[in-house]
C-alpha cells in the first residue's frame, strides 16, 4: 500500500494544501522543510486519516472542529481508494464526495495495521520518539529490545551504533567541566525552548486575534458599504441641485408665459408668415394709397366735365367744339377710360380690404395705413413670443430628461 496523494482542505495550520505522490511510484519520496513548516502536522494528518481524528485534537487552532477535513488517495496492487476523514465520533470516514459513508474495514483492507501506536512506532517516528526510544534502549541494554527497535525502524547494525554512542557519551560526560559539552548544549537547548515558548501564541490569543481580525474585516466592509451609500447620496444631491436650478428657471418662464397666457396659440410658422404679411401689408398699403389718390384724381376729372345748360348761348363754343371734334372725342374716350380705371381701382381696393379682413368701405381705407411705431411693436412682440416659446420648450425637454 502507498499514498498517491494527500490533501488537507482544513487541518492544523493548512488550508487547501496538497501533496502529490503519484509520480513517486517505485521510489523513495522525501518531504523536508524548515522548523514550523508543518512536517509534524502532516505526519499527524496521515495518522488521523488512518485511525480517526482524536476528540480533543489540538489541530483546530485555524479551523473549527466541524470543518476539519483530511483527504487522501491510497493505492494497493493497482486498485485506488480515495476517502475523506472528518472530525466525528462515528461515521467519520467518507467517500471522495465527502458524503457517502465508507466502512473502516475497507480502509483496513488497504492498510492492515489496526493500532495507532503500532503505526507510530513503525512509521510515525519523530525526533522526540527517537530520542525517547534511544534513551530507553541505553538504559535497558536489552538485545531483544535492540532487535525489536532495529526491525521496526529498519536500522541495521544497531549494536555497533549503540557502542559508538556509549563511547561518545563517555567523552561528553567526563568529570572535567571544561570538556563537558553536552550540559552547555542542553542549556542552549533550554534557552531556545524558552524563547520559542515566549514567541508562541496561545490558542486563546490566537482565537482573540482571529476574532479581532474578523471584526476589523467586518468594519472595513461596513465602512466601504457606507462610503458607497454616501457617494450615491452625494450624486443624488447633485442631481437635485441641478433640478432645482432648472425648476427655478421653469418658474421664471412660467411667470413670463402667464403674462401672455390669453394670447392665442400661434402656429410654428407664424413668425415667418407674420413677417411676410407685414411686408405684403406695407406694399398693399402703398398700393391702396396710390389707388386712393388715383380715384380722387379721376373723380376730380369727372366732376370737372360739366355739360353746359345753355347751349344756344354758347353757339360759338359749340362750333368750336364741333370744329375741335377730335379733341372732344379724345376727351370722351379719356373720360370712359378713366371711369373704367376708377371702377377697376375701386374693385382692387375692395378685394385688398377683404383680404385684410376689413369691411369694403373705401372711405375708411385711408385709416388702415399702419403707422411706423405700430409696425415696430408688432415685430417686437412676435420676436419675444417666439423666443419665450422656444425657452419653454427647452425647459420641458430638460425636465423630462432629469426624470
Q: Give the domains, in start order, of the chain with CATH numbers.
A: 2-122 (3.40.50.300), 127-179 (no CATH), 270-303+333-402 (no CATH)
Ordered strands of the 14-20 beta sheet = 14-20, 2-11, 69-76, 79-86, 93-95
> Measuring CA to CA, which residue among 82, 18, 5, 12 is closest to residue 54?
12
Residue 86: phi and psi, rounded to 5, are -100, 170
* Separation between Cα atoms, residue 85 and residue 47, nearest integer Å: 11
* Separation between Cα atoms, residue 403 and residue 401, nearest integer Å: 5
> Measuring CA to CA, which residue among 22, 19, 16 is closest to residue 6?
19
The CA-based dihedral angle spanning residues 296, 300, 301, 302, taken in that order and rounded to the nearest 10 degrees: 100
- Answer whether 75's CB lies under 8 Å from 4's CB: yes
Q: How far is CA 2 from CA 21, 26, 44, 250, 343, in A?
A: 9, 10, 17, 85, 132
Element spanning 15, H or E: strand 14-20
> Measuring CA to CA, which residue among 169, 385, 357 is closest to residue 267?
385
Give the pLDDT of residue 83: 95
CA-CA-CA-CA torsion sign (200, 204, 210, 216): negative
> Measuring CA to CA, which residue among 118, 108, 114, 128 is closest to residue 151?
118
* Separation between Cα atoms, residue 219 and residue 291, nearest integer Å: 95
- Answer whether 68's CB lies under 8 Å from 59's CB: yes
- Answer whether 101's CB lies under 8 Å from 93's CB: yes
Give me the residues paired with residue 81 across strands. 74
DSSP structure string for 267-332: PTTHHHHHHHHHHHHHHHHHHHHHHHHHHHHHHHHHHH----S--GGGHHHHHHHHHTHHHHHHHH
Cell numbers 542549556 label which residue? 187
Give the pLDDT of residue 32: 85
Give me the residues paired with residue 84 across strands. 71, 94
Give the pLDDT of residue 388: 86
At 83, is the secondary structure helix, strand, or coil?
strand
Give the pLDDT of residue 187: 79
Give the list of residues 6+ apart from residue 267 with CB closer than 8 angstroms, or none: 273
Residue-level pLDDT, tens digit, the chain, 403 residues: 788 899 999 999 999 999 888 876 667 888 888 888 888 899 999 999 999 999 889 888 899 999 999 999 998 888 899 999 999 989 999 999 999 999 989 988 888 887 888 787 777 766 666 666 666 656 554 444 454 455 455 454 555 666 677 677 666 665 454 555 667 777 788 888 888 877 777 778 888 888 899 999 999 999 999 999 999 899 988 988 888 888 888 888 888 888 877 777 777 887 888 888 888 888 888 888 888 888 888 888 877 766 656 656 667 777 776 776 676 677 777 888 888 888 888 788 888 778 777 777 777 766 766 677 777 887 888 888 888 888 888 888 878 777 6
Element spanning 151, H or E: helix 143-153
At 141, is the secondary structure helix, strand, or coil?
coil
Give the list of residues 6+ apart from residue 146 with CB closer than 8 angstroms, or none: 137, 158, 159, 162
> Measuring CA to CA, which residue among 249, 251, 255, 246 is closest to residue 399?
246
Amino acid at each position: 500500500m502507498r499514498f498517491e496523494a494527500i490533501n488537507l482542505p482544513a487541518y492544523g495550520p493548512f488550508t487547501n494544501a496538497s501533496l502529490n505522490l503519484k509520480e513517486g511510484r517505485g521510489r523513495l519520496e522525501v518531504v523536508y522543510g524548515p522548523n514550523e513548516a508543518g512536517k509534524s502536522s502532516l505526519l499527524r494528518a496521515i495518522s488521523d486519516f488512518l485511525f480517526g481524528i482524536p476528540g480533543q485534537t489540538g489541530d483546530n487552532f485555524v479551523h473549527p472542529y466541524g470543518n476539519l477535513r483530511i483527504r487522501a488517495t491510497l493505492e494497493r496492487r493497482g486498485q485506488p481508494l480515495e476517502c475523506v476523514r472528518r472530525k466525528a465520533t462515528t461515521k467519520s470516514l467518507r467517500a471522495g464526495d465527502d458524503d457517502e459513508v465508507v466502512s473502516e474495514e475497507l480502509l483496513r483492507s488497504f492498510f492492515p495495521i489496526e493500532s495507532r501506536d503500532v503505526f507510530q512506532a513503525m512509521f510515525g517516528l519523530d525526533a522526540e520518539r527517537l530520542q525517547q526510544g534511544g534513551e530507553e534502549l541505553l538504559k535497558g541494554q536489552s538485545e531483544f529490545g535492540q532487535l525489536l527497535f532495529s526491525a521496526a525502524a529498519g536500522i541495521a547494525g544497531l549494536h555497533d551504533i549503540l557502542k559508538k554512542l556509549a563511547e561518545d557519551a563517555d567523552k561528553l560526560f567526563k568529570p572535567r567541566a571544561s570538556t563537558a559539552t553536552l550540559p552547555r548544549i542542553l542549556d542552549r537547548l533550554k534557552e531556545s525552548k524558552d524563547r520559542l515558548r515566549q514567541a508562541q501564541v496561545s490558542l486563546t490569543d490566537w482565537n482573540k486575534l482571529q476574532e479581532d481580525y474578523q471584526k476589523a474585516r467586518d468594519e472595513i466592509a461596513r465602512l466601504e458599504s457606507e462610503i458607497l451609500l454616501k457617494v450615491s447620496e452625494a450624486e443624488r444631491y447633485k442631481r437635485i441641485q441641478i433640478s432645482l436650478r432648472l425648476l427655478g428657471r421653469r418658474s421664471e418662464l412660467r411667470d413670463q408665459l402667464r403674462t401672455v397666457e390669453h394670447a392665442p396659440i400661434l402656429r410654428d410658422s407664424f413668425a415667418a408668415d407674420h413677417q411676410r404679411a407685414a411686408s405684403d401689408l406695407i406694399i398693399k398699403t402703398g398700393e391702396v394709397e396710390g389707388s386712393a389718390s388715383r380715384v380722387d384724381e379721376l373723380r376730380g376729372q369727372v366732376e370737372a366735365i360739366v355739360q353746359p345748360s345753355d347751349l344756344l348761348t354758347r353757339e360759338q363754343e359749340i362750333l368750336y367744339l364741333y370744329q375741335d371734334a377730335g379733341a372732344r372725342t379724345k376727351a370722351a374716350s379719356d373720360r370712359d377710360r378713366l371711369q373704367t380705371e376708377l371702377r377697376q381701382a375701386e374693385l382692387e381696393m375692395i378685394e385688398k380690404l377683404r383680404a385684410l379682413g376689413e369691411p369694403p368701405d373705401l372711405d375708411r381705407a385711408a385709416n388702415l395705413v399702419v403707422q411706423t411705431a405700430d409696425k415696430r411693436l408688432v415685430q417686437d412682440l412676435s420676436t419675444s413670443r417666439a423666443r419665450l416659446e422656444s425657452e419653454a420648450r427647452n425647459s420641458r425637454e430638460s425636465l423630462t430628461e432629469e426624470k
